Amino acid sequence: MQAFEYANPASLQEALGQLGNKWGEADVLAGGTDQLSLMKEYLATPKRLVNIKNIKELGGIQNSKTGLRIGATVTLEELAENAEVRKAFPALAEAARGVSSPQIRNMGTVGGDLCQRPRCWYFRQGFGVLATKDGQALVPNGENRYHAILDNEGPAYFVSASSLGPALVALGAKVRLASASGHREVAAAKFFVKPANENAREIALLPNEILTEIIVPHEGTKNATYEVRQKEALDWPLATASVALKMKGSTVVSARIVLGHVAPTPWAATQADQALAGKAITAESAEEAAKAALADAKPLSQNGYKVQLARVAVKRALLEAVKA
């Protein structure tokens, strides 16, 4: 780990003053479950680390008529156990529970889940977020069993690692970002971006910003998340789906289906949304929606199986959403 300066601010304003204008000047530390791994591997070598865990205004979950506010430093365990989250947004609670080690759920934060770097093993071995060597992309001809099956024409091939991302996009959530010059709000769907070059990040956050909170609107949807994960213990999902359904009786008025771990960003499967409108959720309609969701999938050399797994995730998430 490269030596760094440690800042321990007590207020958001103080913390924002500690950040730099370029990546590499200062990194934010919350749970540290990814940040410290990146630093130990020299994948992140910030000159300064800004601890935000002591900033009270970044914590807590508050419910209001318009929506649920989730502070950035709320842990994944707090989120998964919160009664209001479980009642109104089971898709989100289940996504948090899917982070499959109690240690990481208790240390890792909501903001950290959104801001974590990709798990692509070429990235983690030092070949950059676009995974290249001598200008050549390594993923298409390499070990790509866990890589993207959608939006994978390059230059990025990794899958978004965020567990909460797909659920937040499906629920129409907004992400609030603060900088020294003010606040801005970004739709969760726009927060995740496919980087176009090696210096770009996979999220909309700028180096001088801190993710402060997430707002999940009360839209009265039936929602659920299903993860296909090989292990019960610490493991990354192979494919996930989060669904949010506006219902009239047993008929779907509108649907939002978002896939995780299949593309460089949470993947909104709009074709599946359309396939469900006006229908009841049955094993057959769920199966059809699942097929529609993956219609555009173009697997790489080793990850064809993920198409099937993503289909299963969509189908099971839909059936779970309308259960009971």
Candidates 78-86, 151-159, 167-175, 225-233 — which segment interacts with other proteins by CB under 8 A?
225-233
Rounded to a whole number of angstroms, the distance between the first and last alpha carbons of the chain is 50
Closest CB to other proteins among 180 and 234?
234
For residue 203, give the DSSP letter: B
Q: Tally the C-alpha atoms within 13 A of residue 265's C-alpha that lie toward its C-beta.
A: 21
Query: Which residues does residue 175 pair with via DSSP β-bridges, in sequence order?
Result: 186, 214
Shortest CB 39 distance to other proteins, Å = 15
Whether 18 contacts 7, CB under 8 Å:
yes
Structure tokens at 204: 């909309």
Q: Does 232 bind other proteins (CB under 8 A)?
A: yes
Q: 66-105: which residues touch other proteins (CB under 8 A)?
A: 101
Q: Does 158 bind other proteins (CB under 8 A)?
A: no
**C-alpha distances out from residue 116 to 27, 90, 205, 291, Å:** 12, 23, 12, 30
**C-alpha distances out from residue 69 to 87, 88, 174, 217, Å:** 15, 13, 10, 9
Candidates 17-25, 57-65, 227-235, 247-255 — which segment interacts with other proteins by CB under 8 A?
227-235
Structure tokens at 244: 């949010």
Contact with other proteins (CB under 8 A) among 16, 112, 121, 169: 121
Q: Does 125 bind other proteins (CB under 8 A)?
A: yes
Closest CB to other proteins among 185 and 235?
235
In angstroms, the CA 14 to CA 29 distance is: 14
For residue 127, give the DSSP letter: I
Candidates 3-11, 44-52, 139-147, 268-276 — which segment interacts with other proteins by CB under 8 A?
139-147
Closest CB to other proteins among 232 and 249?
232
Binding marks (x or -) toward other proteins, 304..323, rule CB under 8 A?
Answer: -x--xx--x-----------
In angstroms, the CA 32 to CA 101 distance is: 15
Q: 234-293: which residues touch other proteins (CB under 8 A)?
A: 234-236, 238
Closest CB to other proteins among 121 and 191?
121
Q: Does 142 bind other proteins (CB under 8 A)?
A: yes
CB atoms within 10 A of CB 85: 23
Please tell me whether the peptide bond between 118 and the residue prior to it is cis, using omega within 30 degrees of 0: no
Residue 133, phi then psi, degrees to nearest 5? -140, 130
Candidates 6-14, 27-35, 72-80, 124-132 — which segment interacts with other proteins by CB under 8 A?
124-132
Closest CB to other proteins among 140 and 207?
140
Q: Write out the residues near other proteins by the rule CB under 8 A.
A: 101, 119, 121-122, 124-125, 127, 133, 138, 141-143, 145-146, 228, 230-236, 238, 302, 305, 308-309, 312
